[in-house]
Structure 1
Amino acid sequence: MEKAQADGAGESGNSITLFPNGIHLQSLPTWANPKSLGTEGVKGAIRKPPCRLRSGEIPLHNHLLPPIQWGQTRILEEEQAMQTGKRLWALTCCMLMIFLPTAQAAQPLESGTPMTLTTPSAILAETATGTVIFEKNADERREVASITKLMTALLVLEALDRDEIALTDSVQISPRAAAMKGSQALLDANAVYPLEDLLRTTIMASANDSAVALSEYIAGSEENFVDRMNRRAAELGMTNTNYVNCTGYPQSGQYTTARDVCRLCCEIAKHPRYNQYASVWIDKLTHPGGRVTDLTNTNRLVRFYEGCDGYKTGSTDAAKYCLAATAEKNGMRLVAIVLGTPVSQTRFNEARQMLDYGFATYRRVVIANKGDLLGQNVEVRGGSAERVPLALGSGLSMLLKNGQQSGLSLSVQLPESVDAPIAQGDVIGLVDVLLDGQVIAKLNCVAAEDVPRPGFIEGLLRILRNWR
C-alpha cells in the first residue's frame, strides 16, 4: 500500500442578521404559524405558562437557565398610537434592522487574549452566531496554505445542495490535476473516480490533486473555479481575501485573514457533510486499478481533542503552520483559528487552549424562538375580533459568559390599540432584550393571527347590540 503525501499545500493543511455581544437574530421572512408551536406556544427548552402576561410576571422559562425576567409593558399613549399606526411601527423596526451594528462591525466579547498566544494571528468564535470571543491581529493579511481548500470544499458542498452535481458522479482526472505537487491522494491521470472520493480526500487528507480535479469538473478549469471562489468570498464579506488557486499552494497574490477564515468556517458549519469527512482520522482510497493509498488526517485534534470534528490545517514555508479547528460541546460549536505559528505542534496546542477557554467560560443560550406566543394582546378597533394575540417575529440566541443569564430581561413596547384590518405577521410593537439593564437587541412583536374588518351582517349585529 502507498501512503498519501501530506504536509505541504501543500500541507508541509430567511437570512440571518448578526448582532454584537453574541446575539443571533433570525430575520423575518414568511410568517410561520405560531399555532404550530402547540398549546404552550414554545418549542425546545423554552417553556411558558399558559397565562396572560401582566407587569412583573415571567412568561418565558428555560429549564437550563434562571427565569428571564420581563420588565414593565410600556403602552404608547393613545393619541400617539393613532397618529403613528402600524406604518410607523414597521418603519421603526426596519430602521432598527439597518442601524443596529452587525457582526462584521462588532467588537469581540473580550479585549486582548485571556492566555499567552505565540501565534501571530488568531481568533476564537462561536459558529452559529458568528460571535467573536477574542482575537489577535485578526485582520492581518497572510498566506494560509491548504486552509484555502475550505472555500474549495464549500463550493462543492453548495453545488451538491443545488443538485448541480452528485457524490456518485464519475470524474476523469486530467494529467494537470494528477501532476499537482504538495499533499496528494496520488490520483491516476485519465482514470475515473467517484466525486465523493475526491471530496473526502480533499477535506480529510488535504489532497491537491483531488481539489484541482473537483475544480475542473465543476467549473471547466481551475481558473474559472477560482473566479467563483473570489465571488463567494465577497458574498460572505471576506473583504481581505484573494484566491489565486484552489489548493493554497504557494502563489503570488493569494492571501486572507483570520477574520475572513472565521467567516468561511461559520458558513461551512452549515454543512455537516464536511465534518463527516473531516472527523475521520485514518482512511483508505482504492484507485480504479486496485491500488490502495493510505490516508491520514492532517488535523491531529480530530484524534486528540474531545468533540473536534474539523476543519483544516495548512502549512508552507511562507504561511508557516496554520490551523482552523472546530469542536462542539453542550450544543455549542466553537472555531479556533491560528495562523503562522513557527512550529507545527504549537498550532494544535494553542488552538486547544483557545477551545478549552471558550467551552469553560461561555455558553450559547436560546432566549426565544420565532413564533413564540407572548401571552399579550392588543385592542383592535373596527375588527372582527376585539383583540389580537401577539408573538415574536424573530428568534434570538446569545453567547453569554457563565453567570450572565441572571442579568437578562425583556420589556415589551406596545400601542394601546390598532386599527383593523390586521394580517398575521404585521408588526405591532417591539420587545427590548436587556442585559444588566442595557438594551442589546430589539425583536419585532407581531400579530399572531388575522383580524379582518367585520362583514356586513356581523357589523349590523354589533350596531344593534350597542344600540340596545
Structure 2
Amino acid sequence: MKRFVSALLIGIFTLSISGPALAAEKPNKSTTELAPNTKSAILIEMNTGSVIYEKNKDEQLSPASMTKIMTMLLIMEALDKKQITMDEKVRTSEYAASMGGSQIFLEPGEEMTVEQMLRGIAIGSGNDASVAMAEKLAGSEEEFVNLMNKKVKELGLKNTKFQNATGLPVNDHYSTAHDMSVMARELLKHEEITKFTSLYESYLRENTDKKFWLVNTNRLVKFYPGVDGLKTGFTHEAKYCLTATAKKDNMRVIAVVFGAANPKERNAQVTKMLDYAFAKYQSREIYKKNMPLAMLTIEKGQKKKISLVTSEPVALLSKKGEEKLNIRPKIILHKDVQAPVEKGEQLGTVQMLLGDKVVSETPLIASEGVKRATWFDLFKRSFGMFTHAGRE
C-alpha cells in the first residue's frame, strides 16, 4: 500500500510541474470560417471533450440519420451488459420491413445476427435494421424511443428529442451539433463500434442468391486518412449532415455539421475542420483507461479496501508549440461507502486543475465488486483485531 501511494504522489508531483495547458478558449477570428456553408457545426477533442470550434452549436435542427448514433449507442450498451450477443438472431417484423428511405431490404420474418444488423446500420444506414434492433431490445420502436430519450437525459443533453430510431422525417424530432458530438463521444467509448463504422464496404447474405453490397454513406472513411466513422444524415428538411471522427497519433477528434447543401460541400466542411484540428492541436495522455489512482475504504464489505481506476483516458489538449503550464490533479473520493459495491461503480473523481480552475474531470470507478460482509465475516474481523491487540 505504501509503495502504491508513494508512486501516486510522485506521479502527481511530476505532472504538476510539466503538464500542458488545456485549450478551452472560444473560437477566434481565424477559426470562424471553418464551416461557413452549414447551418451549425462543432469540432471537439474526444478525450477531454474540449470545443475547438463551434457555430450555432445549440440550434435545434433535424439530425436525419445521425439519429442512429443513439440507436447504435444503445445497442453497444446492451452488448456490454450481455443482454444480447453479436451472434444472436434478430427477426424482422412486418413493421420493421416496411421502413422506407435507406435500407438493407429486410423481408418480414427474415433473420440476421446482431452483428449483421449492426453492419447494416453503421455502413448502410438501414432504417429497417434500426427498427428491427429497436424491437429486439425494447419490444417496440416506441419503447425503444423512450430508452433513447432516457439516455439523452442521462447525458445531460438539453436540446435533443427523439421520436423514432431512424431519423426519418417526423414532427418534434431534433438535436444540435453540441448534443450530437456528446452522443458520438459516448458511442466511441465503445471502441468496437469503429470496426463497423470504418468499413467502406461489406456484404450481407453472402452465401445466398440475394447477396447485398453495402457501401458506407460516409465517403470520408475512404478518402480522409484517419477517419473511421461515424454517421451521415440526409432528408429534404435536414439537408446533408455528418458526424465524423478521425484519429491521428494519439488524438481523436469529432466533427459535426448540419445543413450542408450537398454531399461534396458537407465533406469539404468536415475535411477543413479535421485539417485544422490536426494542424493546430495536440493531445497528451496523462492517465490510461483503468489506471489505478486511489484506494477507498469500503464499510461492511467482504474486502476492506479496493482500488479506484480511471473510467476513460485522462488527457490534456493544447495548441502545438504552446508553453507548458502548471497542471495538477486533484482526487476526490466518495465518503462513507458501504458494501455492496458493483464493479465499474463511480466512487470518486480525478480533476485536472490549472491554478484553481478545473479544466477536466474524469470519474474514478471501482476496479472490482465487493459483496456485503456477513455477520460471521464481521465477527472474524473483530476477533482478529482483538487478538492482535492482545499480543501487543
TM-score with structure 1 setting the length: 0.63
1:250 is matched with 169
Q: CA deviation at 1:342?
A: 1.1
1:402 is matched with 320
Amino acid of the structure 1 residue aligned with 2:219: R
Q: 1:60 aligns with which of 7, 10, 14?
A: 14
Q: Distance in 1 between matches of 2:329 and 2:80?
A: 40
Q: Distance in 2 between matches of 1:147 and 1:221?
A: 20
Q: Distance in 2 between matches of 1:322 and 1:432?
A: 34
Amino acid of the structure 2 residue aligned with 1:188: E
Q: Rg larger in 1 or in 2? A: 1
> Over residues 96-135 of structure 1, what are the superposed CA-to-partner deviations in whole Å (9 max), with x where a residue is unaligned?
xxxxxxx9xx975424634342111000001111111110
2:69 is matched with 150
Q: CA deviation at 1:61?
A: 7.0
Secondary structure in structure 2 of the residue aligned to 1:407: coil
1:440 is matched with 357
1:75 is matched with none
Q: Distance in 2 between matches of 1:262 and 1:204?
A: 19
Q: Distance in 2 between matches of 1:314 and 1:442?
A: 33
Q: 1:192 aligns with which of 95, 111, 126?
A: 111
Task: Confirm or deny that 1:122 pairs with 2:122.
Answer: no
Q: CA deviation at 1:136?
A: 0.1
Contact 2:47 2:315 in 1 (8 A): no
Q: Distance in 2 between matches of 1:359 and 1:184?
A: 34
Q: Distance in 2 between matches of 1:153 and 1:337?
A: 17
Q: CA deviation at 1:407?
A: 3.4
1:19 is matched with none
- Residue segments in structure 1 that go unaligned for 5+ positions in a row: 1-32, 54-58, 70-102, 374-391, 414-429, 445-454, 460-468
> Over residues 57-100 of structure 1, what are the superposed CA-to-partner deviations in whole Å (9 max), with x where a residue is unaligned?
xx5279xxxx618xxxxxxxxxxxxxxxxxxxxxxxxxxxxxxx
Map residues 351-430 of structure 1 onto 2, 5 A cutoff: 351-367=270-286, 397-404=315-322, 406-409=323-326
Amino acid of the structure 1 residue aligned with 2:325: L
Secondary structure in structure 1 of the residue aligned to 2:270: helix
Task: Confirm or deny that 1:141 pairs with 2:60.
Answer: yes
Q: Distance in 2 between matches of 1:393 and 1:161?
A: 19
Q: Distance in 2 between matches of 1:298 and 1:441?
A: 39
**Corresponding residue pairs, total:** 327
Change (3 A) 1:372 1:180: closer
Q: Distance in 1 between matches of 2:329 and 2:135?
A: 55
Change (3 A) 1:367 1:176: closer
Map residues 196-345 of structure 1 onto 2, 5 A cutoff: 196-286=115-205, 290-345=209-264
> Over residues 284-331 of structure 1, what are the superposed CA-to-partner deviations in whole Å (9 max), with x where a residue is unaligned?
111785410111000011000011000100001000000000001111
> Over residues 134-157 of structure 1, what are the superposed CA-to-partner deviations in whole Å (9 max), with x where a residue is unaligned?
100000000011000000000000
Q: 1:182 aligns with which of 92, 98, 101?
A: 101
Contact 1:307 1:328 in 2 (8 A): yes
Q: Distance in 1 between matches of 2:356 and 2:241?
A: 38
- Residue segments in structure 2 that go unaligned for 5+ positions in a row: 295-307, 331-349, 362-387
Secondary structure in structure 2 of the residue aligned to 1:193: strand
Change (3 A) 1:372 1:252: closer
Q: Distance in 1 between matches of 2:282 and 2:24?
A: 18
2:338 is matched with none
Q: Distance in 1 between matches of 2:54 and 2:141?
A: 33
Contact 1:127 1:265 in 2 (8 A): no
Change (3 A) 1:271 1:432: closer
Change (3 A) 1:218 1:403: same
TM-score with structure 2 setting the length: 0.74
Q: CA deviation at 1:186?
A: 1.1
2:371 is matched with none
Q: CA deviation at 1:203?
A: 0.8
Q: Distance in 1 between matches of 2:224 and 2:54?
A: 21
Amino acid of the structure 1 residue aligned with 2:358: A
User: Identity of counterpart residues, as a percentage?
Assistant: 37
Change (3 A) 1:284 1:432: closer
Amino acid of the structure 2 residue aligned with 1:401: K
Q: CA deviation at 1:366?
A: 3.3
Q: Distance in 2 between matches of 1:193 and 1:347?
A: 33
